[in-house]
Structure 1
C-alpha cells in the first residue's frame, strides 16, 4: 500500500521549487504607455485638423520615451517585455503617427506622390527600429546608426508646428511650395533613418557626475531660448541634428577615421564590409 507524503515531510532535495511568476514592472511601462498615448493623441488631433496639438503630442511622446529607459535603469526594472513594448510604442508615435499627420497636413494634396512619401517614412521607421534591436550588441554606444526615429518625427512634425503657428492653414489645398517642402523633408527623414550615417547618441553623458557651474547656466539659458518660441527653436535644433550625421560622416572620412558605428559583426561575418 502506497502512502501519500506531505511535502513538509520530504527531504529538502526532493522538494521541487515552484517557478516564480513573471510580473510586469509598472513604473517604466507607465512612461511607455504615456508615450504611446502621445502618438495616438497626435493622430486624433490631426484627423480633427488641430495640427499644432498633433505636433505637441509627438514632442511629448519624445520626452516620455527618453525617460522610460532611464527610469528602468535607475530603478533596476529592465525587462524583455519593456524593451518590446518600447519598440512598439516608438513605431506608433514616431513611425505611423508622423506619417499620417504630414499626409493629412500637406501630402494628400500631391496625390500618389504624397502617400508614397508618407509610406517611405513609415517603412524607414520600421526598418530602423528592427535594425536597432538586432544590432544593439555591436553598435558603438556613442552613436546611432542612422537618424533615430524620435528625431525624424521631430523634424517632420516640427515643420508642421512652425508653419501652423505662422498661420499657414489648409496646406493640402493651397501653398504648393510648402507641400513640396513637406514632401522633401519627409523623404529625407525616412531615408536617413536607414542610412549608416553616425548620429551622436548622448548616451555617454552621465547625470551622476559633477559638472562646472557654467553648464547649469547654459541649461537655464537653453530653457529660456526654447520658451521664447518653442515651435521654431525646437524645429531648428532637430533640423540641425538631422543633418549632423552626414557632417560627422564626411569629417571622419576626410580624417581617414572609420565611419562605421558597427564594431564587429559576430553573427554574420560576411556582412562586415557592408558597414564601412
Structure 2
C-alpha cells in the first residue's frame, strides 16, 4: 500500500465519529450473568459435561464419552425440574437450555457416528451435517413456536434432539452386538431420522415418555460400561 493511499485510509477512518461505535444508553442491554438462575447454572454444568463427552469421543473413548453424555442428559432434565419447582422458567432460560442442547445431544451424537460408526469420511460429513442442521432448526422452531397442546397434554412439534441422539446411540450398540449391522446401515437410519425433527409429528411430553427415556439411558449406560470394561 502506497504512502498516499495509507494516509487516505487513515483520514477516512478518523472521520468516523467515535460516538457511532459506542453505546451510550445501556438501559436496554442485558446483564447476562445477573439473569442466570439456579436452573441456568445446572444447564451450564450440563454444557461442561457435554464438552467433556466431546473430548472423550475425540480421544477415541466412545463408551466413556457416552457415559459423560448421559450425565449431561441427567443434568438437562434436572434444570427443567429445578426451573419448574422454583418458578424460574423464562424465555431467557429456555434460550439457554436450547443452546446447551446443541452440545449435550447434537455434537456428541454427530461425533459418535464419526468416531465409531462412519464407514467413510463422506458418510460422516453428510450424517453429521444432517444431525446438526435439522437439530439446530428444530431447536430454533421450538424457541419460536413453543409447545403445542392436545387435550391438555403438551407436545413437541417434531421429534426432539433427544430422540435423534438415542437413534445414534442405538445404532452404536447394534453395530457392536449385531453382526450384520454396519456403518452404512447406521448412516441411512440416522439420516432418515433427522428430518423428523422438523416434521409435524407430535412428540407428547408425558411422565411415561420421560420414564421410557430414563430406562433407555440406564440400559445404554449398562452396555457402555460392559463394553468399556470388557464385560460384554
TM-score (norm 1): 0.59
Question: What's the counterpart of residue 20 of structure 2?
Answer: none
**Among 150, 175, 179, which residue is 2:162 paired with?**
150
Give the ranges of 4+ consecutive aligned residues of structure 1 lying more than 3 Å apart after TM superposition: 137-141, 161-164, 226-232
Deviation at 1:162? 6.0
For the residue of structure 2 that corresponds to 1:71, the secondary structure is helix
Q: Whole-Å Cα distance in 2 between the matches of residues 79 and 122 of structure 1? A: 25
Alignment of 1:30-69 (within 5 A): 30-69=41-80
Q: Whole-Å Cα distance in 2 between the matches of residues 42 and 125 of structure 1? A: 18
Question: What's the counterpart of residue 223 of structure 2?
Answer: 231
TM-score (norm 2): 0.69
For the residue of structure 1 that corresponds to 2:156, the secondary structure is strand
**Among 175, 187, 194, which residue is 1:190 paired with?**
194
Question: What's the counterpart of residue 269 of structure 1?
Answer: none
Matched, 1:132 2:142: yes
Alignment of 1:33-182 (within 5 A): 33-107=44-118, 109-136=119-146, 140=150, 141-161=153-173, 163=175, 166=177, 177-182=181-186
Indicate if the aligned counterparts of 1:58 and 1:157 stay in contact, CA closer than 8 A: no
Which structure's CA Rg is the greater one?
Answer: 1
Q: Whole-Å Cα distance in 1 between the matches of residues 220 and 59 of structure 2? A: 27
Deviation at 1:188? 2.5
Superposed CA offset, 1:1-42 (max 9, x none) = xxxxxxxxxxxxxxxxx9xx9623441012101221222111
Indicate if the aligned counterparts of 2:67 and 2:221 stay in contact, CA closer than 8 A: no
1:104–1:67 CA distance, 2 compared to 1 (3 A): same
Deviation at 1:228? 10
Which segments of 5 or more consecutive residues in structure 1 lack a partner in the other structure? 1-17, 169-174, 206-218, 233-276
1:126–1:227 CA distance, 2 compared to 1 (3 A): closer
CA RMSD of aligned residues (A): 3.3
Deviation at 1:184? 1.8
1:161–1:38 CA distance, 2 compared to 1 (3 A): farther
Q: Whole-Å Cα distance in 1 between the matches of residues 181 and 220 of structure 2? A: 27
Which segments of 5 or more consecutive residues in structure 2 lack a partner in the other structure? 1-26, 225-232
1:112–1:163 CA distance, 2 compared to 1 (3 A): closer
The alignment of Structure 1 onto Structure 2 pairs a total of residues equal to 188
Superposed CA offset, 1:56-84 (max 9, x none) = 22222222111212211211222343222
Superposed CA offset, 1:44-63 (max 9, x none) = 11111110111122222222
Q: Whole-Å Cα distance in 2 between the matches of residues 144 and 227 of structure 1? A: 25
